[in-house]
Homo-oligomer: A and B are copies of this chain.
Amino acid sequence: MKRDLDIRVAIVEDDETIREGYAFLIGNTSGYKVVGTYSSCEDALKKIVGDDPDVILLDVELPGISGVEAIPKFKKILPDTHILILTVYEQEMLIFRALGNGAAGYLTKNTPPEKIVSAIHEVMDGGGPMSAHIARMVISSFKRNESTPLTRRETEILEQIATGKSRKRIAEELYIDLETVKSHIKNIYHKLDVHSKADAIKAAKDNKFI
């Protein structure tokens, strides 16, 4: 089995200097082997299957189809290959889209070489390496806003509404009267200054009340 030998790494990166730099770094680390280097996703998608890589180092900003969009395509033709994003971009949207599309980790390019190498190993071991700043952003995305104007009950009910449940069903599941649920919703709408379910959900999500 190939697993007994080196970890097979493929690199997709448009900047030749960086690409060759990574290839040199990884190629000269024992236990690792560079099996393919590509300057575009189109190119990589055509030929990478033959490389049979364990890990793909992928840039997000590439000419043609972007790295983020290419992730599902790579996963389709190489289901067991892990994808590690390696980029200068720290925009929230890119990060979440990359992770949502199936990336196993997200590193920024200022990551020191030895960390990149250990990140590849970490990915193979089932880890999810992230740069410190990225990790903080990902963690922040879970964080609720502590200074919500909504009471506990109101928050609870708005969460239920956000799951699409009817007021009647919410009343039943919380063991309270339908009229009570209506009252809470009226108060929620007043506090958030909205006049519909959708607007309340949006306002609450934007402000991380739910």
A interface residues with partner B (beta carbon < 8 Å): 72, 75-76, 96, 99-105, 122, 125-130, 132-133, 135-140, 142-144, 146, 161-166, 169, 196-198, 200-202
User: Could you tell me the distance in whole angstroms from the C-beta of A107 to the nearest C-beta in chain B?
Assistant: 12
User: Could you tell me the distance in whole angstroms from the C-beta of A199 to the nearest C-beta in chain B?
Assistant: 8
B198 and A100 form a contact (CB under 8 A): no
Which residue in chain B gives the minimum CB-CB distance to A134? B128
- In-complex Cβ contact of A127 among B102, B128, B136 (8 A): B136
B136 and A138 form a contact (CB under 8 A): no
User: Could you tell me the distance in whole angstroms from the C-beta of A205 to the nearest C-beta in chain B?
Assistant: 8
Complex Cα spacing A85 to B126, Å? 21
Residues of B near A144 (CB, < 8 A) are: 100-102
A198 and B142 form a contact (CB under 8 A): no
Complex Cα spacing A169 to B202, Å? 14
User: Could you tell me the distance in whole angstroms from the C-beta of A43 to the nearest C-beta in chain B?
Assistant: 23
User: Could you tell me the distance in whole angstroms from the C-beta of A102 to the nearest C-beta in chain B?
Assistant: 6
Copies in the complex: 2
B99 and A163 form a contact (CB under 8 A): no
Residues of B near A105 (CB, < 8 A) are: 135, 139
| Residue among A102, A128, A137 with max Cβ neighbours from chain B (10 Å) | A128
A135 and B143 form a contact (CB under 8 A): no
Complex Cα spacing A126 to B128, Å? 19
A136 and B104 form a contact (CB under 8 A): yes
A135 and B135 form a contact (CB under 8 A): yes
10 residue pairs bridging A and B, Cβ less than 8 Å apart: A102-B144, A102-B146, A104-B139, A127-B133, A128-B135, A128-B138, A128-B140, A162-B162, A164-B202, A169-B198
User: Could you tell me the distance in whole angstroms from the C-beta of A72 to the nearest C-beta in chain B?
Assistant: 6
Complex Cα spacing A137 to B135, Å? 13
Complex Cα spacing A197 to B197, Å? 13
